[in-house]
Structure 1
Amino acid sequence: MKNPPMLVAVAAVVLSVLAIYYAKSSSQLVYVDVNKLITGYEKTKVAKAEFDKKANLMRSNVDSLVANWQKELKNYEKERTTFSPKELKLKQELLTNKQQQINGYQEAIQKKIQEEDKRVTQTVINDINDYIKEYGKDHNYKIIFGASGGGNIMYADESTDLTEEVLKGLNAEYGEK
Structure 2
Amino acid sequence: MNKSSNQPQNKVFMWGYQILLLTVVLFLLFNFLFRNEKIAYVDSAKILNEYKGTLEAKKAYEVKAKVWQSNMDTLTNDVKAAIQKYERSIATMSKTEQDLSRQLIQSKQKQLSDYQRGIQENAKQEDGKLTQAVVSQINAFLTNYGKTHNYKLILIANQLGTIAYARDGLDITAKVIEEINDEYVKGKK
TM range (shorter): 0.7 to 0.9
1:27 is displaced (CA, Å) by 4.3
Q: 1:33 aligns with which of 16, 21, 43?
A: 43
- Name the residue aligned to 1:79: 89
The two structures have a TM-score, normalised by structure 1, of: 0.85
CA offset digits 1:29-69 (Å, max 9, x no partner): 21110111111111111121121111111111111110121
Instruction: Give the alignment's TM-score, normalised by structure 2.
Output: 0.80
Percent of matched pairs sharing the same residue: 34
Distance 2:180 2:126 in 1: 23
1:52-91 deviation line (CA, Å, top 9, x unaligned) = 1111111111111101210111110111111111211121
1:60 to 70, 74, 80: 70
What does residue 110 of structure 2 align with?
100
CA distance in 2 between counterparts of 1:160 and 1:85 reads 78
Aligned residues: 174
Deviation at 1:26, TM superposition (A): 4.3
Matched residue, 1:164: 174
State whether structure 2 residue 21 is matched by structure 1 residue 44: no
Q: Which residue of 1 aligns with 2:4?
A: none
Corresponding position of 1:151: 161
- 1:27 & 1:161 partners in 2: Cα distance? 15
After TM superposition, the structure 1 = structure 2 runs for residues 94-133 of structure 1, keeping only pairs within 5 Å, are 94-133=104-143
Show structure 1 runs of 4+ deviating over 3 A.
3-6
- The structure with the larger Rg is 2
Unmatched segments (≥5 aa) in structure 2: 1-11
Q: Report 1 or 2 for greater relative contact order, CA contacts < 8 Å, sequence distance ≥ 6.
A: 1
Shift of 1:160: 1.0
Letter matched to residue 96 of structure 2: K
